Each structure stands twice: as structure tokens, then as C-alpha cells.
Amino acid sequence: MPVHPATLFSIATGSPEPIYRQLVEQVRRMCASGQLRPGDGMPSVRDIAQALALNPMTVSKAYSLLEMEGVLARRRGLGMVVADAAPAAPGDRAELLRPTLERAALEARQLELDPDTVLSLFATILKEST
């Protein structure tokens, strides 16, 4: 039985990032990190939509994209499950964070900031955002 949707997802409605994309990326990360495993059942579109106060179509769009990516699979008439051919943790989970960190490093260089200054700031942010 799936986890309660409202505890599974956290949506920032004010974010510039579209809601359906926030959902897609959270599911992708949860699969990659092993919080969701192949065969696990996902909450129904309607449950998620109600729990997060979204339109079902928005949730459905996220599910459709995840199905096209091969992250989820449809069991017709039964709902979505995590796909068997799971794009699971590829060796090192931390590598999934590399693109984001590389972008940050690029900006830091463009600002001509000292690496130690940047690392110190990042450490603060990482710990305060518990």
C-alpha cells in the first residue's frame, strides 16, 4: 500500500518550476535513492491531486512523463507502479547531484569567489535546512 501522498511529495506552488515537473523530479529522485523500489505501487492520480490540492490532470501529466521515461509503468485498471527496469542508483547516488553542483561551481567562478568562501556558505546552508 502506498505511502500517504501528502507526506510523499512537497510542492512549492509559488515556484517558477512547473508543478508537474516538481512531481516528476521528486519521483525520479526517490527511485534513484531507493526510497521507491521496483514494483512499489504509487498513489492514484486522484489521491495525490486531492492531498496536494492540485488538478488531477497536472498529476496525470507527471505520471505520463514518468511512464515515457520508463520510471513508472501502468498496470491497466490498477494504477501506476515503479517500473522493473528501474533506472536505479547508478553506482554512486551522489553523482546525481553533480550537474547541479557543477552549475554552482560555474557561477562561483564567474563571480571570482574563493572556493573556501563558497564551501563555507554551502556548509551553512546544508546544515540549516534540516
Partner DNA sequence: GTGGTCTAGACCACA
Partner DNA sequence: GTGGTCTAGACCACG
Give the interface with DNA as residue ranges (CB under 7 A).
18-21, 42, 44-47, 53-58, 60-61, 63-64, 67, 74, 76-80
The residues of the shown chain that bind a copy of itself, judged by CB under 8 A, are: 13, 18-19, 26, 29-30, 32-35, 55, 68, 76-77, 93-94, 96-98, 100-113, 115, 117-119, 121-123, 125-127, 129
Question: Could you say which of DNA, a copy of itself, none residue 125 binds, taking C-beta under 5 to 8 angstroms by partner kind?
Answer: a copy of itself
In the bound state with a copy of itself, the residue whose beta carbon lies nearer, of 39 and 55, is 55
DSSP H or E run through 39: none
**Residue linked to cell 535513492:** 33
The span from the CA of 107 to the CA of 120, in Å, is: 16
Q: Which residues contact 46 (CB under 8 A, 6 or more apart)?
A: 56
Amino acid in the structure at residue 130: T
